[in-house]
Amino acid sequence: MKHRYLKNVTTLRLSAEKCIGCGRCTEVCPHGVFGMNEKKAQIEDKNRCMECGACAKNCPAKAIAVDAGVGCATAVIMGWLTGSKPSCDCSCGEECC
């Protein structure tokens, strides 16, 4: 069974004009969000995006933008409590900080 999370929330944006068609985004996306059509990347399933930021980080033409962040409730709560940006630091909470 396929996992599906909330719809219509992702901040992922792709500029077709800037795209140079290298296909790197299709290589790095862990959820198959991108596909290639006539030597341009296109978003095929936006709702599968988990905002990891791999595509934007690896796009040599800066054609992709996404507010990358951790999809983790614990991190968000810790961010609220400490007034800092949510980060993936739960793993070291008790032992190293």
Partner 1 sequence: MSNEKSCCCSASSCCSTEPITLYNKNDEWVMGEINTPKGRVPVVSTNLHFKDILGAWKVRWGIGRMNYKINPGLYAVGKPDHTSPVLVSANYKLTFDVLRKELSGLDCWILILDTKGINVWCAAGKGTFGTDELIGRISKTRLSEIVSHRKLVLPQLGAPGVSAHEVTKQTGFSVVYGPVRAKDIKAFLDSGFKATQEMRTVKFTMWDRLVLTPMELVTTAKSLLMVFGVMFLLNLFVARPFGLMDFIAYTGAVITGTVITPLLLPVIPGRAFAWKGWLLGVLWTLGLIWYSGGFVPGFLLLAIGYLLALPSLSAYLAMNFTGSSTYTSFSGVIKEMKIAVPLIAISFSTGLVLLLINSIWA
Query: Does 31 help bind partner 1 (rule: CB under 8 A)?
Result: yes
Query: Does 45 help bind partner 1 (rule: CB under 8 A)?
Result: no
Cα 61 from Cα 80, distance rounded (Å): 35
55, 48 Cβ separation under 8 angstroms: no
Query: Does 88 help bind partner 1 (rule: CB under 8 A)?
Result: yes
Among 17, 81, 82, 92, binds partner 1 (CB under 8 A): 92
> Cβ closer to partner 1: 3 or 17?
3
31, 49 Cβ separation under 8 angstroms: yes
Query: Does 71 help bind partner 1 (rule: CB under 8 A)?
Result: yes
> What's the token pair of residue 79?
């961010």
23, 35 Cβ separation under 8 angstroms: no
Contact positions toward partner 1, by CB under 8 A?
A: 1-7, 9-11, 24, 27-32, 48-54, 57-58, 60, 67-77, 86-92, 95-96
